[in-house]
Amino acid sequence: MNHFYKFESKEIGQELLELATLYKANPTLHSSKGKGKRIGCIFLNPSLRTRVSTQIAAQQLGMEAIVLNMDKEGWALEMKDGALMNGSTVEHIKDAAGVLGSYFDILALRAFPTLTQKEEDISDFVFHQFVNYSGIPVISLESAIRHPLQSLADQLTIQELAQKEKKPKVVLTWGPHIKAIPHAVANSFAEWTLGMGHDLTICHPEGYELDPIFTPGALITTNQEEALEKADFVYVKNWSSYKDYGKILTTDSTWMLTEAHLKNAPQAKIMHCLPVRRNVEISDELLDGPRSLVQQQALNRIFAAQAVLSKLLP
Amino acid sequence: MNHFYKFESKEIGQELLELATLYKANPTLHSSKGKGKRIGCIFLNPSLRTRVSTQIAAQQLGMEAIVLNMDKEGWALEMKDGALMNGSTVEHIKDAAGVLGSYFDILALRAFPTLTQKEEDISDFVFHQFVNYSGIPVISLESAIRHPLQSLADQLTIQELAQKEKKPKVVLTWGPHIKAIPHAVANSFAEWTLGMGHDLTICHPEGYELDPIFTPGALITTNQEEALEKADFVYVKNWSSYKDYGKILTTDSTWMLTEAHLKNAPQAKIMHCLPVRRNVEISDELLDGPRSLVQQQALNRIFAAQAVLSKLLP
Amino acid sequence: MNHFYKFESKEIGQELLELATLYKANPTLHSSKGKGKRIGCIFLNPSLRTRVSTQIAAQQLGMEAIVLNMDKEGWALEMKDGALMNGSTVEHIKDAAGVLGSYFDILALRAFPTLTQKEEDISDFVFHQFVNYSGIPVISLESAIRHPLQSLADQLTIQELAQKEKKPKVVLTWGPHIKAIPHAVANSFAEWTLGMGHDLTICHPEGYELDPIFTPGALITTNQEEALEKADFVYVKNWSSYKDYGKILTTDSTWMLTEAHLKNAPQAKIMHCLPVRRNVEISDELLDGPRSLVQQQALNRIFAAQAVLSKLLP
């Protein structure tokens, strides 16, 4: 594993889950493993959990973390090779990534999709430009199409809660939202859940099919009621249309998850990556009730990041 | 003391002043007390002294400090319970504070008032939402109605300068300003000065009476000349009207403190929390002259924060 | 050397180059020299390399570095003494610099020129106000008229590449740009190159003469072709007019450096401080080819900053 931006294999997934479990029990177990090493965390977009959990994970391994809000503190980046830079971009990613690659031991990058340039987004263009030009290991802090640290934390949460004797029923259900939202969390959740060998049911309104490369083997339906039946884990997430790229096709509030939706799923725990639009995606009663795992997921972000950093350190 | 956001008691005030004095003499006295502990400093508004002095105080106790400019780097927060979040707020304080409470050992929060929603402001709504949902000790870095770290630094400054044999005359005088300014510094200064057993005279133009819960026992007058007579410490501060909430009733420049105003107060030292509008609130001659304590107050912010952190650490 | 904002002498230059070379070979050679010391890095303008390299340099000396984006996180600063502050500025530099001087052991400041107020800019007004009022050593992270940490890194790069037996021909050539750009990098490069005893040729279109105080002894010409002949090091940089202050007199693209421009300079290495406007100032072929030293210059920023910090530490 040279970089961390996607699901690699069940073996690596299990290894990372074991490491994360270890660090959750003993955060300072390897507190000098990263001594003298530096991680640069580059944000092209806002962040709360990702920003803080990555810094904490680095500190717990003894690394120095430097955060750079490139959009606000640095220079507007040109992403296209060969560009004649007489517009609003001030620095080419080639130069910036090269410099950062010489300053740090590991880089981490958050770069959201455009949601207007489909080809560019699905090639995960910005992330790969950073990888290409930095020359050092790069961790995705959410790219155009994946959010793998979130997914690793989510798998850790499922593993912590799943009953040993029974294969859990995992459901990913679309929830309404007022803005056009990236596919990254949904894609990654599907990719990791399936990759780790779980059954996965995905439900969404018509026209919201995810890119099929992330969902091989999933049961996909537009019938939310059937999908939720006897669910053990219900992951709620909005995403915009992939087919009609970046568009909002519906905000149908009947898709908002409430206690009533789970009448046939008495054991169901609910999950969300946060930030969540309360009473739009999920009702308060669920988020504040005993079914909610959202805080546990958020806490697990620290140990997911720590496991990945630990594995990438020489 | 589970949190630090108001004056608690004279005993705790004295204990904190003793700790602050100790740290001023020996900043690294307890340099490993906070080892392995983390403070998260959350800013919803700008800050210079508070931001830096809190980081330094944490470092001097061996703590890790992580600063988060929530307004710029994170997500716009929804504060109201039960809100249907289909507007501009992206994350509920309930979720954000819960996550931060699980990431840190101590939180610190700056949250200014609206100056338009009086009931919400005086309930110190945002600060208490953070307290309610974070589940860990929270330090106020200035809330809607109080700025207690400033007040502790101010009391330290008064203690350092006051003559042993004589009870000092402390005066809080309103100064002009071009913007509507919160009541937090004035409220807290009155609360702490009175709480620590000092006499306090407050003078301001008509209509600028502070919320009386902060000023029990103070001598309150609209006659600045009489108020300043024989003063030992003159604290200058603007605030907007409390009665006619958040309004500017006057910018009368005769209230600006100058050397001439202190003709009957030869011993008077002048104080201000900074930032100060020079030649609007106070004249250059005073700020640059031997009466000024403003730099000493600012330096004492480090030791005030260090004392509070030290007391909150387990 | 009490501050670091300009070329002081060849002796000090050589001493800093030796220190920088030492730290490049062994970054943690003096990893406890700065223990217990703090540097405050104050940015009034954006920064990538300067921000990160200074933090890394400080860490490698064991110092604590605190970064403050004063323009975004703090208060708008008033620079003029005696100002009646009833406008948009919230805090006087006198007060802010005084406080920061009491909080830190060393300060570092980035403050770009106005490019409209020539007299103010060339007096390096903002930088000197910080020096005047902070009372502690101040390092320039690029001021209105100089960028000395860049120049020290540039001299290190030239020293690393120059052949021992032959005096190198160093050329500073103006390159086109679409915005009005400060003179700081060009001024400093000339000042340091000449100060360290190198020959320097400067070429630019008519009307782009630099302030002559930075270029004593340089060969100055408007003939780029002649200037580049047999060059060993070609530093490309845009700057706006000094005579017609802050104006763009031409964007003539024939001045953009390409491989064709170096047909009579087979040994020439090219240099740029970054960020560079690709295919506007310099062609991709040069920046991506074997002549380019831009990444080496950027890496050397760490060791230049480390040398300066080391020398300023008591």
**Do strands B219-221 and B199-203 pair parallel, antiparallel, or not at all (unpaired)?**
parallel
| Residue C223 covered by a domain | yes
Same domain, B128 and B189: no
Q: At what angle do helices A294-312 and A10-25 cross, to 10 degrees?
A: 110
pLDDT above 80 for C71: no
Instruction: Kindly state whether residue C3 falls inside one of the protein's structural domains.
Output: no
Q: Which amino acid is at C65?
A: A
Is residue A2 domain-resident? no
Check whether residue C194 and residue C265 sit in a common domain.
Answer: yes
Q: B233 and B155 share a domain?
A: yes
- Determine which of C99, C100, C132, C133 to mutate to test the interface with B (most B C-beta atoms within 10 Å): C99
Q: Residue A11: count other Cβ atoms within 10 Å of its Cβ.
A: 8
Rounded Cα gap, residues C30 and C13, in angstroms: 20
Residue A72 with chain B: CB contacts under 8 Å: 72-73
Q: Is residue B4 part of a domain?
A: no
pLDDT given at position B70: 87
The pLDDT of B281-286, averaged and rounded, is 98
Percent of chain A predicted with pLDDT > 90:
96
Q: Give the separation between CA B311 and CA B296, rounded to whole angstroms.
A: 23
List, in sequence order, the alpha helices (H) in C123-183.
125-134, 148-161
- Mean pLDDT within B206-226: 98
Same-domain check for residues C129 and C201: no
User: Could you tell me if C66 and C132 lie in one domain?
Assistant: yes
Instruction: Please indicate, yes or no, whether residues A285 and A174 belong to a single structural domain of this protein.
Output: yes
pLDDT value for A66: 96
- Residue type for B9, please? S
In this prediction the pTM is 0.96
Q: Are residues A164 and A133 in the same domain?
A: no
pLDDT band per the 50, 70, 90 thresholds, residue A74: confident
**Closest among C181, C136, C116 to C42, alpha carbons compared:** C136
- Chain A residues touching B85 at Cβ < 8 A: 277-280
| Residue A49 per-residue DSSP state | H
- Chain B residue numbers with beta carbons less than 8 Å from the beta carbon of A302 are 103
CATH number of domain containing C69? 3.40.50.1370
In a domain, B115, yes or no: yes
**pLDDT tens-place string over residues B33-58:** 999 999 999 999 999 999 999 999 99
B75 and B104, same domain (yes or no)? yes
ipTM for this model: 0.96
The residue whose two tokens read 């005066």 is B171
Question: What DSSP string describes B22-54?
Answer: HHHH-TTTTTTTTTT-EEEEEESS--SHHHHHH
Interface of C with B (CB under 8 A): 36, 38, 40, 64, 66, 68, 70, 72-75, 78, 81-86, 90-92, 94-96, 98-100, 102-103
- Neighbouring chains of A at 3+ CB pairs under 8 Å are B, C
Place of tokens 């020959």: C199
Domain enclosing residue A27, as ranges: 10-146+300-312
pLDDT, tens only, B154-195: 999 999 999 888 899 999 999 999 999 999 999 999 999 999
User: Does the residue C1 lie in any domain?
Assistant: no
Q: What percent of chain A has pLDDT over 70?
A: 100
A284 versus B76: which is more confidently predicted?
A284
Contact C261, C224 (CB under 8 A): yes
3-state secondary structure of C47: coil
For the beta carbon of residue A162, count every other beta carbon within 10 angstroms.
16
Rounded to the nearest angstrom, the gap between the alpha carbon of residue A32 and the centroid of all alpha carbons in its chain is 27
In sequence order, what are the residues at sequence separation of 6 or more whose Cβ sits closer than 8 angstroms to the Cβ of residue C254? none
A254 Ramachandran zone, left/alpha/beta (phi>0; psi -120 to 50):
alpha
Does one domain contain both C206 and C132?
Answer: no
pLDDT tens-digit map of A201-214: 999 999 999 999 99
Q: Characterise A13 by phi-psi region: left (phi > 0), alpha (psi -120 to 50), beta (else).
A: alpha
| Chain segment C147-186, per-residue pLDDT in tens | 999 999 999 999 999 988 889 999 999 999 999 999 999 9
Better-scored residue on pLDDT, B234 or C74: B234
Average pLDDT, chain B: 97
Q: Are residues B166 and B39 in the same domain?
A: no
In angstroms, rounded to a whole number, what is the distance separating the alpha carbons of residues B74 and B71? 6
Say whether both C107 and C72 belong to one domain: yes
Give which of A42, A133, A104 is closest to A313, Cα–Cα: A104
| Residue A67 included in any domain | yes
Residue B2 in domain: no
Report H helices in chain B: 10-25, 49-60, 70-73, 93-103, 118-122, 125-134, 148-161, 184-195, 224-228, 284-287, 294-312
**Cβ contact, residue pair C55, A66, below 8 Å:** yes
Asked if B42 contacts B108 with a C-beta cutoff of 8 angstroms, the reply is: yes
Which residues of C are less than 8 Å from B284 in CB distance? Answer: 81-82
Residues A291 and A161 in one domain: yes
Please state the domain count of chain A: 2
More confident residue, A73 or B279: B279
Cβ–Cβ gap C95/B287 under 8 Å:
yes
